[in-house]
Amino acid sequence: MEVCLPTLTDFAMPHSLHDTPASLSALEAHRRQFSALSNKGYFNYGGQGPLPQLALDAILEGYRQMQSDGPFSKKAFDWVTAQAQQTRSAIAQELCVSPDTISLTDSVSAGCNIALWGLPWRKADHLLITDCEHPGIVAATQELGRRYGVCVETCPVLQTLNEGDPVAAIAAQVNSDTRLVVLSHILWNTGQVLPLADVILACRQQNPDVLILVDAAQSVGVLPLNLADLDVDFYALTGHKWLCGPDGVGALYVRPDLRDKLSPTFIGWRGIRVDQVGNPTGWKADGTRYEMATAAFPLYRGLSEAIALHRQWGNATQRYQRICALSKRLWTNLTLIKGVECLSQRAPDAGLVSFRIRGGANGDWVAALETKQIMIRSIANPNCLRACVHYLTLESEIDEFTSTLAELL
Ligand SMILES: Cc1ncc(COP(=O)(O)O)c(C=O)c1O
């Protein structure tokens, strides 16, 4: 019998949105990189993505190499410096910006905190945040309010999921004292994609000096992005969710002309320049001024390998189109189950699908599905369940999930 192994062209070709035999075999071969996907229906990409073997191998190899080279040696230092630069470049390519605008962090929260605490706040400045932000980010803005007397106000976007206009809801609360608007590109709870370019434009019409900090936890690795076109000020991301990198590596994009307005808050040797006798003489010129000190450098290599692997499968538009086709399938399947209600009245514009089940506690549904090797999560506000689809998701995985759910009901 002839065995048809996937070839390099299988990986490089643009993929159909449907499981034709050719594209399915290519996707299945690609998925074999992700051991986490081999024995479960995985729908928690918005929590944490699976790590590809290639990335895991690169991380281990990085640690091995550092031991063999030093670990504290010129050779090891040159290696980690090169890895960091390569990772900034890989992230910059995903965002269509220049690598010098990227600062490596360890999480979305770290990136948001760099932007939040680095601005020159004055008492009674106004900070606007949506009602759909992650609790960690909300807490940081509240502490900013408590410490500096900043007036923190919340604007209602949750109610715009099915009707109303999120752009108007946000812009209506921007005033001449508003220094910063904090919002997510994709809302982590309902999966709504905010029209970021329109939001930014509308906010600047209200106040030309207002700055925009975007929590990109759920958008990077999902949406095709061009930050320069969006004219966004700060974009905080992580590699461990949709990009399937290791936990512990994220990044912050800072618009280059804002570097002089945004002071570093966490300060260490990576962000500063020193003179010949080692005295600090100022910040680094580029985004590395917001990086601090020693980190788990081999992890950086893991993230750049994961990004390269996604690019090998398809470009950002192809990956996003497949995500949308799959989330439409999941949303449609869910709407057909009696006792299940999707929060969105139309198919989502990204990979997060939020829904409610009539009867039973959400935590119990998550636990019941996990006994069947299907992983989703619950969300507290609004009270619902959330399942995420990636371009890596199989149509059959979605159908299996929804038929299992229907059986459990
Ligand atoms: C919208 C949003 N913001 C922030 C976070 C926190 O991410 P991190 O742990 O990378 O700071 C999450 C994680 O789920 C999230 O969904």
- Three-class DSSP category at 250: strand
Give 328-382 pLDDT, tens digit per residue: 999 999 999 999 999 999 999 999 999 999 998 999 999 999 999 999 999 999 9
Taking the centre of ligand 1 as the mean of its atom positions, its distance from the CA of residue 217, in whole angstroms, is: 5
* Per-residue tokens: 353: 């699908």
- Three-class DSSP category at 277: coil
Ligand 1 atom closest to the Cα of residue 111 is 11
Mean pLDDT of 222-236: 96
Residue burial 69-84, b: 16+ Cβ < 10 Å; e: rest? beeeeeebeebbeebb
- Three-class DSSP category at 216: coil
Q: What top-level class would CATH report for the domain 62-310? A: alpha beta
Taking the centre of ligand 1 as the mean of its atom positions, its distance from the CA of residue 240, in whole angstroms, is: 10
Mean pLDDT of 385-396: 98
Ligand 1 atom closest to the Cα of residue 240 is 10
Residue nearest to atom 9 of ligand 1 (CA): 107
Report pLDDT for 70: 93
Q: Residue ranges per domain, the chain? A: 8-51+315-408, 62-310
Instruction: Please name the amino acid found at residue 286.
Output: D
Report pLDDT for 287: 98
The percent of residues above 70 in pLDDT, for the chain, comes to 95
Q: What is the CA radius of gyration of the chain?
A: 22
Instruction: Check: CB of residue 188 under 8 Å from CB of residue 241.
Output: no
Report pLDDT for 328: 98
Taking the centre of ligand 1 as the mean of its atom positions, its distance from the CA of residue 261, in whole angstroms, is: 25
Give 57-99 pLDDT, tens digit per residue: 999 999 999 999 999 999 999 999 999 999 999 999 999 999 9
The mean pLDDT of the chain is 94
The percent of residues above 90 in pLDDT, for the chain, comes to 93
Asked whether the predicted pLDDT for residue 16 surpasses 60, the reply is no
Report pLDDT for 173: 98
Residue burial 253-286, b: 16+ Cβ < 10 Å; e: rest? bbbeeebeebebebeeebbbeeeeeeeeeebbeb
Residue burial 132-154, b: 16+ Cβ < 10 Å; e: rest? bbbeebbebbeebbeebebebeb
Mean pLDDT of 237-242: 98
Distance CA 149, CA 388 (A): 38
Ligand 1 pocket mutation pick from 48, 104, 108 by most atoms within 8 angstroms of CB: 108
Taking the centre of ligand 1 as the mean of its atom positions, its distance from the CA of residue 117, in whole angstroms, is: 18
Report pLDDT for 13: 40
The DSSP code sequence of 66-96 is HHHH-SSSHHHHHHHHHHHHHHHHHHHHHHT
Task: Band the pLDDT of 22: cuts 50, 70, 90.
Answer: low
Give 106-137 pLDDT, tens digit per residue: 999 999 999 999 999 999 999 999 999 999 99
Residue nearest to atom 7 of ligand 1 (CA): 108
Asked whether the predicted pLDDT for residue 177 surpasses 50, the reply is yes
Distance CA 341, CA 358 (A): 8
Taking the centre of ligand 1 as the mean of its atom positions, its distance from the CA of residue 19, in whole angstroms, is: 32
Taking the centre of ligand 1 as the mean of its atom positions, its distance from the CA of residue 220, in whole angstroms, is: 12
Report pLDDT for 228: 85
Instruction: Check: CB of residue 319 under 8 Å from CB of residue 105.
Output: no
Bigger pLDDT: 20 or 378?
378
Q: Is the pTM of this model over 0.85?
A: yes
Give 180-208 pLDDT, tens digit per residue: 999 999 999 999 999 999 999 999 999 99
Ligand 1, CB within 6 Å, residue ranges: 47, 107-109, 134, 136-137, 184, 188, 215, 217-218, 238, 250
Please state whether the peptide bond connecting residue 99 to the residue before it is cis, i.e. omega within 30 degrees of 0: no
Taking the centre of ligand 1 as the mean of its atom positions, its distance from the CA of residue 191, in whole angstroms, is: 14
Mean pLDDT of 250-268: 98
Taking the centre of ligand 1 as the mean of its atom positions, its distance from the CA of residue 78, in whole angstroms, is: 31
Distance CA 103, CA 368 (A): 41
Name 349's bridge partners: none
Taking the centre of ligand 1 as the mean of its atom positions, its distance from the CA of residue 167, in whole angstroms, is: 23
Ligand 1 pocket mutation pick from 44, 91, 109, 158 by most atoms within 8 angstroms of CB: 109
Distance CA 36, CA 34 (A): 5
Ligand 1 atom closest to the Cα of residue 107 is 10
Q: What top-level class would CATH report for the domain 8-51+315-408? A: alpha beta
Ligand 1 atom closest to the Cα of residue 184 is 1
Estimate the share of the chain in helix, then strand, then coil, as percent rounded to the nearest 5. 45, 15, 40
